[in-house]
Amino acid sequence: MYFEERKRKNGKSTYYAVDRYVDPLTGKAKREVVKFTTNTARARKQAERDLAAKIEELIAEKQGTFNGAAMVTFGDLKAKWLETWQTTVKRQPSRVRKWC
């Protein structure tokens, strides 16, 4: 974890607590940020706690959505989508051209 200071247009400073974590689904490193306004020891500790909670929540959410038993094949997914799609699309009457 590290802290960054950024200047805004009006000259005021904002501070960011930055930490990296590994996404459990993709295995890629991701970056998460928490913003705080004062650069005091108390604010830094609170930002650390908020950032840790935020990362834990993100990881838990990603792991909760991935369930190997619930995975279906592409054919099953396509059949379910087709069933849903057919109920939402109005059926067009067949047009017959009459040739004279």
Parse the chain into domains and list their residue ranges: 2-88
Q: Which two tokens stand for residue 73?
A: 């094949």
Predicted TM-score (pTM) above 0.75: no
Which residue in this structure is represented by tokens 């650390």? Answer: 48
Is the CB of residue 36 less than 8 Å from the CB of residue 23?
Answer: no
Using one digit for the tens of pLDDT, what is the confidence trace for 19-47?
Answer: 999 988 888 999 999 999 999 999 999 99
Using one digit for the tens of pLDDT, what is the confidence trace for 54-70?
Answer: 999 999 988 876 665 66
